[in-house]
Amino acid sequence: MSSLLSKSLASLSLRARVVLPAQHANYVTASAAVYAAKAKKAAAPKKAKGQSNSFKKKAKSTDEGEGGSGGAGRLNEKYYKPAIPVKVEEFLPSSASTENIGRVLGFPVNVQPSLELATFPTLLKEQFALIKPAALAVREPTISLLDKLDSAMQKPSSENRMVLTGESGSGKSALLMQAVSHCLSAGWVVIYVPNATSWVNSSFAYNKVGGTTNFVQPVLASQIAGQVAKTNKSILSKLTLSANVKIGRHDMEKGTTLSALLEQAVKDQYSAQDAMEVLMKELSAQKEVPTLIAVDEVNALFKPTQYLDTKANEMDPDHLLLPRLFLNYISGKASLGQGAVVAATSDSPIANQSEALHVALGVKQVSPYKKLPEGIMSWTTGLTNIPVPAYTRAEAKGVFDYYKKGSIIYDAPTEELFLNRFITSNGNPRKFFTACAKGI
């Protein structure tokens, strides 16, 4: 606080020294501006007869840099420094050990492209933009979760359905990304949904399935199929269909690779929902490769959606076929032959909070006289709650040293500053990052 106050006083004193002497204001009328423009035009050198009317390319101002005022979405390098590369070791399956708690490890080079196919959570995206490469701290919850995933490799997913909970900014999304990275490195099939909110907030067009009360989201299903295909290309190109199937108006023969199945879903969005259902059925039947289903903002799937039915009523998520497909595995009504389901709740936006899910996980208690929606409660059975705590001091110190190497700490990175930021943020990862990087 004292350093901020001194900076403010210095800024005020600087402004006081450059204040212009008092003078009368000069008012410029519209007519005066017109006369000035005419005078300037008359004084300009006249073009010689027959001279070309072509335009000359204006020299680029050295002050603008790469991110001049005309560059859409680019930052002026005069004022904004590019991300500083920090040398870190890779986050490999062997890194999940207590010896590495507090160390910041980067996502492996072969995993990074797969993670970039998905949209990073806002806070992590901001951090990854400031320091390269993208990296996260190994924490005690990291070791615990990855141990559970390793033991799930040869068990059905119905026995391994976990939901990460905790206060806003506690690191749930970061922990989920570490689980995704770990399983990709270990050779799993990974289906990662970083933003479940977009599945139910009426962002995508939807069509009614004739003779039912259900709806499909063709564009969304096609996008997810493409993401899954690119993320798991090497594995899905080796797994094949166990029988002839029909997706939309396309016949797919037995022996067709699952990669080719999803490519068809990308080409024809109206076959994408069928393709996703066939994919999940095949992954459930095979026992060659374990599968991880990872869903962030999962609470959005446990409350009425923003989609309206034919009577203009908000629909429950199980009437949208793609959310329903994933809810089957989250709830254990369907099961992968080998693998796990890991989901994370989110406190942003608040409108997506699911009281039914919080009650089922024991996070919240309500009056026994309050009636919860039976349809949604039926999807919450058997979920395991995994609370994500704040940083320990050792974890926060490792992150602080990482920020120090990346030169993103607002003030001089001393031990005293570390303790100040750790205590004032109460170890909350999001608040700790904001305090270190922005000084607030």
Q: Mind listing the pLDDT tens digit for each residue in 291-301?
A: 999 999 999 99
From first CA to last CA, the distance across the chain in angstroms is 9
| pLDDT, position 259 | 97
Residue with tokens 């859409």: 72
| pLDDT, position 200 | 95
342 located within any domain: yes
**Do 242 and 289 fall into the same domain?**
yes
| pLDDT, position 126 | 86
Domain end, chosen from 344, 370, 387, is at: 387
**Do 185 and 250 fall into the same domain?**
yes
**Do 369 and 248 fall into the same domain?**
yes
By DSSP bridging, strand 104-106 and strand 250-252 are unpaired
Domain end, chosen from 387, 409, 432, is at: 387
Instruction: Find out whether 262 and 229 touch, Cβ atoms under 8 Å.
Output: yes
Q: With bands split at pLDDT 50, 70 and 90, how would you rate the model's confidence at 332? A: very high
By DSSP bridging, strand 250-252 and strand 245-247 are antiparallel
The pLDDT > 90 percentage for the chain reads 65
pLDDT at 34 over 60: no
**Do 218 and 106 fall into the same domain?**
no
DSSP string, 378-410: TT-TTPEEEE--PPPHHHHHHHHHHHHHTT--S
Q: How large is the angle between the packed helices 393-405 and 415-424, nearest 10 degrees? A: 120
101 located within any domain: yes
**Do 410 and 335 fall into the same domain?**
no
pLDDT at 81 over 80: no
| pLDDT, position 129 | 87
Count of beta carbons in the 10 Å neighbourhood of residue 131:
22
Say which range, 17-26, 229-238, 279-288, 429-438, has the weakest mean pLDDT: 17-26
**Do 102 and 236 fall into the same domain?**
no
Residue 157: what are its φ and ψ, rounded to 5°? -65, -20
| pLDDT, position 438 | 85
**Do 279 and 334 fall into the same domain?**
yes
At 158, the amino acid letter reads S
pLDDT at 119 over 50: yes
CATH number at residue 166: 3.40.50
58 located within any domain: no
Residue 249: what are its φ and ψ, rounded to 5°? -105, 15
343 located within any domain: yes
d(CA 362, CA 355): 10
3-class secondary-structure state, position 336: coil
- Higher-pLDDT residue of 122, 278: 278
At 19, the amino acid letter reads V
pTM: 0.81
pLDDT at 414 over 60: yes
Q: With bands split at pLDDT 50, 70 and 90, how would you rate the model's confidence at 67? A: very low
Q: Quick one: average pLDDT of 409-422?
A: 91
**Do 411 and 423 fall into the same domain?**
yes
24 located within any domain: no
Instruction: Find out whether 386 and 162 touch, Cβ atoms under 8 Å.
Output: yes
3-class secondary-structure state, position 193: strand
**Do 189 and 336 fall into the same domain?**
yes
Mean of per-residue pLDDT scores for the chain: 84
Range of the domain at 275: 152-387
Torsion of CA 236, 240, 246, 252, to 10 degrees: 100
**Do 300 and 373 fall into the same domain?**
yes
Say which range, 4-13, 272-281, 365-374, has the weakest mean pLDDT: 4-13
The pLDDT > 70 percentage for the chain reads 80
By DSSP bridging, strand 245-247 and strand 207-208 are unpaired
**Do 134 and 161 fall into the same domain?**
no
pLDDT at 56 over 80: no
**Do 178 and 283 fall into the same domain?**
yes
20 located within any domain: no
71 located within any domain: no
Q: With bands split at pLDDT 50, 70 and 90, how would you rate the model's confidence at 58? A: very low
3-class secondary-structure state, position 435: helix
- Higher-pLDDT residue of 15, 256: 256
By DSSP bridging, strand 135-137 and strand 131-132 are unpaired
Does residue 349 have a cis peptide bond before it, meaning omega lies within 30 degrees of 0? yes
121 located within any domain: yes
pLDDT tens digits along 133-148: 899 999 999 999 999 9
pLDDT tens digits along 149-174: 999 999 999 999 999 999 999 999 99
Name the domain count of the chain.
Answer: 2
Count of beta carbons in the 10 Å neighbourhood of residue 200:
26
pLDDT at 4 over 60: no
Q: With bands split at pLDDT 50, 70 and 90, how would you rate the model's confidence at 40? A: low
pLDDT tens digits along 169-186: 999 999 999 999 999 999
**Residue 214 tokens, joined:** 């259900």
| pLDDT, position 70 | 38
d(CA 213, CA 264): 26
The greatest distance separating any two alpha carbons of the chain, rounded to the nearest whole angstrom, comes to 92
